[in-house]
Structure 1
Amino acid sequence: MKSWKDQLKDLKRVLGKAAIEEKRNEKLDKVSFEPPRSWLAYDRTTSDDDPKKCSGSTAISHDESSHRRCVPTVDTSTGLNPIDQSITPSVIGTSAKKSHEPSRTTATSVFTPRIDGTGTLNMPEGTHVGRGLQHPDHLGGKAVPMVVRVGVDFGTAFTKVAIRAGYDLIYVDWSAITCDESPTGRFVMPGLVVRVLEGDYCWQRSSESDIHANLKLPLIDMASSGECPVATLAYLALVIRYARAYLYQHPDVGRKLVARSLRWELNIGCPTQPHEDLNVVQFFKRVSRTAWRLAAEANLQESNIISAWRMDQPDSSLEAEPGVVPEFVAQIAGYLGSHQVSEGLHALIDIGAATIDVATFNVVIHNNLDTIPRIPIFFSAVFPLGTHYLNQNRHTLLGVEPTWDDTAPIEPADCFSNRNGISQSEVVAADSDFLSGVSSRIDGVINATRTNTRGDPRSSAWREGLPIFVTGGGASCDLYRRAIEMAHQDLRRRLSSSSRFRFVELNPLGTNIPVSASDSSARMTVAIGLTSDADSIARVVPHRDIKPITYGKKERVDHTELYGD
């Protein structure tokens, strides 16, 4: 039998453990969020209004322009997401107040980018040289090899392409097709492709009924079925063909390729959250390699596209399997390779024409310089609240003829009011619900990371400043900046006045690489990152593989155990 001293020690130890557990439970009681199943393994829900029932691209005619199929609605006060309701951060305790009043936001239509002069889309002469894998004046013989890596930022609204040929980096200029020579428009290609009556696909518009849009988002739904995305394959084949032709004809870089044997690699971006599903990644790879093969064909006829899809043969003209890289990882590739990089919690907000993407993640740098960084993803979500829908919301609520250009910067409220003869207060009122909706989505993802054990509740970033990247074509828009500031203020109210966002300016190049186009790197961030070796950027740890964080406390050692009686 133990002595009374030993029994007293045991009692103290038990009481001490109980007190520690009680304190721990008190803190964890604040963490009430259990992430939806789809956050742990990508699993889309299906309902009568699920966009999944409209798989494939969307063909638009004059009669359908005002009554488009599969039109989901957006209520920015409730957080419903027509792209994927299962990943909506409002479920995770967003600070947005629920309102029983009718939403002032408009219905979200099937996405089709608006650009000025779309009737002038054409197929420029000389594009056919892009069918070949070597420069048309290639000397042949035993030429010195050169690795050429094509990075395709396949966006919901626009596609951007960068090519790294040896030490040279160029941005593909699409103005020969779009006739848009503006600084913001020339390096983006609208996500549109035309199907002529004979079944061929091209960019030469003959009638509006032939236009196919909404080429990217349906791929995520089609991954499980293996359905052939005909219009998307045709579009990407045209993109690849034109990009190669542009490289060959580039005034500075093209001449260097004549005496070189080109070795091709291809990387394509994928939304962060769907990238956690292996089926989606494999589907994107299949789409990429099929489009690469089709780029060599003289005609992109529907029957040939379906046949190539069914064959699904590896392409020997590529040095490796196409890389499918999470878009946010490609965006921060330059940051990860720079002296600016720091370990710990980060956030990224990508504002595009169709969607905004919000993600929180850790950066883990290994002591071994030969080991690539590790990126555990805490939470990520995609919302149909891009600049296109901001413009649509304004024009619809204020009864203004829709005449905006999705490649142009968003007009400030005062400029919009002056141009349309509307008071500025009306424009601000029309924007108010949209502004609150964007802010609540951002706040939801960040607050989940702060409060949930599958996030990083005790990161020093909550005290010292959360490093945050704001990217995309809408990053300079005042409304989105105000939405981010609202989320910032919500964070400060929850924690302390010292808590803050620490905005990080991205240098997409990372190093001093010669660039053949100027003042466009901000919009080309993803495409530039995709010209890096896909296997050397970072190793992504999906959200489903992150275990809940548990915080222990060192057991207190009794004084008598250390020093005796």
Structure 2
Amino acid sequence: MKAAYQKHLEAEQAAQQSRDAAQRSIKPHADDSEKQKERFRLIREVVSTCSPTIEKRPDSVSGRTSSKISHAIALGAQAFAAAPDPDIDNGFIVGFDFGTSSLKLAVRQPYRAGENLAVMPVPAELRSGGHAFLWQTAVWYDPADESFSLFPRPGLELLEGFKTGIIGGNGGRRARLDLQVTRSEAAIAFVAMQMAHFFGWYGEERPLREAGGDWFLSINIGIPVAAHDDVQAFRTFRHIVAAARELVASADHLTLSQVRLAHQQAGDALPAGWEIIPELTAAIAGYAADPTSQSGSHVLIDVGASTLDIVAFNLLRGERIAVISAGVELLGSASLVAACENDVQEAVFRSACDRQFHGVFGDACRRSRGSNGFSPVLRSRDVQLITTGGGCASELHAEFIDQKNTPPILGSLPIVRPEPPPSCTSADCDRSRLLLAFGLTRDVPELLELRLPSQVPDIPIHRAPEHFFPSAEVT
């Protein structure tokens, strides 16, 4: 009996040690708090004030490519000028994944069977990482006549990395010190020309065949999930989108003065048919659309070029998907390069990634947020980890992700890297990079059903009575 009792005590002690380790893993030591905050501040300041180089840009494109792009932009601009309003009866939905390194554009016809989903291909010279459907997020500017272009030509200057500064709250700074174009203005020109090009491409190619409508119902543009929950950041992106919409009709010859005027006159209301959607809300929608997706607690980590986005959410079949906690920081793969080039050590950068995770996951583990589904101490099953984004391939980020998917933290379920349906393209490519664009093609009411952290109320905590005496009715 004594031996059995001793064994029981040892088991309890081991269990308590495991619980203590779990709590330590999700909550940084208080002594390190100020140091960690300073690291965040340093990295954010360094990265947000520079325009990081993402990848090698082309010096030129073929005559065929330049003619094809220019022709599509002219057609799209003409079509939009003739019909700027959405088709609410039979329109298609555009998913506009505006990433720091690349743009992905998908289109879906809702409420139709057959070939109702397609992704826009990219000219070989302008592909990001050689991917057939990733268009480099870059725009070229002509200082002579102050015009913009989606492809390089002699005498034009490259503008890139502008979304990083916008996320960091520096959209009003110049994209390049030697040019007068701000980051927000570069983004406006890029979005306007890309939408005109898309409309021209869709009109000529009819990629949805018989299933596709003639005009758009909704253009869903993704922004970082935490930015959507931040009033000032959301307002900045909203002004960029509103200004870009006003310029689609003149995108075949877009000048800085036009962009600047449209930006100055942009109102707070989004135009009809243009929506701003939290990026990870769209990624969750894309994941949830897969019939193999599981119910329960999830953590999604998206590593982009500029940002590390982390979100904890609950997925319940037949009910709303609730985002319990979320965070976005300038800790992506290109941000790592920019930080190291400015004398930030990799260990400091990695520590900041850990702190961001602990902040999001630790918040989800609070009793008032959803601890029973996330806390390593209280949950009944492991948390499903989902990863997206090209930056996951970086050595630092890959190691960071693997160390979170362990029993003391998330558990040991296989990591899921979801993809859109194979029907979106027949090309041999990494379809997981297209998940966000696919998710953005979901119906707006469906996307807006996904609640953000600020929209999810705390769970009331009721203290259990210290003693419980069963009544005669209970017994």
What is the CA-CA distance between 1:217 and the residue it aligns to? 3.8
Letter in 2 for 1:214: G
Letter in 2 for 1:268: I
Counterpart pick for 1:500 among 405, 409, 412: 412
Whose Rg is larger? Answer: 1
Distance in 2, matches of 1:217 and 1:281, equals 15
Work out whether 1:160 is the aligned partner of 2:120.
Answer: no
Letter in 2 for 1:300: L
2:329 match: 382
Distance in 2, matches of 1:146 and 1:108, equals 41
Work out whether 1:543 is the aligned partner of 2:453.
Answer: yes
Distance in 1, matches of 2:312 and 2:454, equals 14
Distance in 2, matches of 1:77 and 1:229, equals 28
Counterpart pick for 2:280 among 314, 328, 333: 328
1:552 match: 463
What is the CA-CA distance between 1:523 and the residue it aligns to? 0.5
Counterpart pick for 2:313 among 354, 357, 361: 361
Distance in 1, matches of 2:400 and 2:88, equals 52
Counterpart pick for 1:482 among 369, 392, 399: 399
Distance in 1, matches of 2:409 and 2:124, equals 51
SS at match of 1:485: helix
Work out whether 1:277 is the aligned partner of 2:230.
Answer: yes
Which runs of structure 2 are paired with 1:2-401 in the superposition (5 Å)?
79-82=39-42, 110-120=50-60, 123-125=66-68, 126-127=71-72, 128-133=74-79, 146-165=90-109, 167-175=115-123, 178=126, 180=127, 184-197=130-143, 198-206=145-153, 210-220=157-167, 221=169, 229-250=184-205, 253=208, 261-297=214-250, 298-312=252-266, 320-366=272-318, 373-386=320-333, 388-390=334-336
Distance in 2, matches of 1:275 and 1:360, equals 16
Kept in 1: contact 2:96–2:221 (CA 8 A): yes
Give a deviation string over 1:265-308, Cα, whole Å, max 9, x none.
21100101111134543543342243133122131112222333
What is the CA-CA distance between 1:33 and the residue it aligns to? 7.6
Gapped regions of structure 2 (runs ≥ 5): 1-19, 29-34, 174-181
SS at match of 1:464: coil
Gapped regions of structure 1 (runs ≥ 5): 1-26, 35-74, 86-105, 368-372, 398-429
Distance verdict in 2 for CA 1:255–1:533, change over 3 Å: closer
**Percent same amino acid at aligned positions?**
18
Letter in 2 for 1:356: L
What is the CA-CA distance between 1:522 and the residue it aligns to? 0.6
SS at match of 2:300: strand
1:465 match: 382
SS at match of 2:200: helix
1:522 match: 432
Give a deviation string over 1:401-425, Cα, whole Å, max 9, x none.
xxxxxxxxxxxxxxxxxxxxxxxxx
Work out whether 1:449 is the aligned partner of 2:363.
Answer: yes
What is the CA-CA distance between 1:118 and the residue it aligns to? 2.1
2:11 match: none
Letter in 2 for 1:558: F
In the superposition, the TM-score normalised over structure 2's length comes to 0.72
Distance in 1, matches of 2:441 and 2:255, equals 30
Distance in 2, matches of 1:263 and 1:315, equals 19
What is the CA-CA distance between 1:469 and the residue it aligns to? 0.6
SS at match of 1:475: helix
Kept in 2: contact 1:375–1:540 (CA 8 A): yes
1:51 match: none
Letter in 2 for 1:302: L
Distance verdict in 2 for CA 1:154–1:533, change over 3 Å: same
Letter in 1 for 2:416: V
Kept in 2: contact 1:170–1:517 (CA 8 A): no
Give a deviation string over 1:253-273, Cα, whole Å, max 9, x none.
47987xx64244211001011
What is the CA-CA distance between 1:202 and the residue it aligns to? 1.2
Kept in 2: contact 1:123–1:177 (CA 8 A): no
SS at match of 2:205: coil
Give a deviation string over 1:474-498, Cα, whole Å, max 9, x none.
3344543322222334xx3479xxx
RMSD value, Cα: 4.4
Kept in 1: contact 2:324–2:364 (CA 8 A): no
Give a deviation string over 1:533-564, Cα, whole Å, max 9, x none.
122135243333432652532563336x649x
Greater mean deviation of Cα atoms: 192-201 or 388-397: 388-397
Kept in 1: contact 2:142–2:156 (CA 8 A): no
Distance in 2, matches of 1:362 and 1:555, equals 31
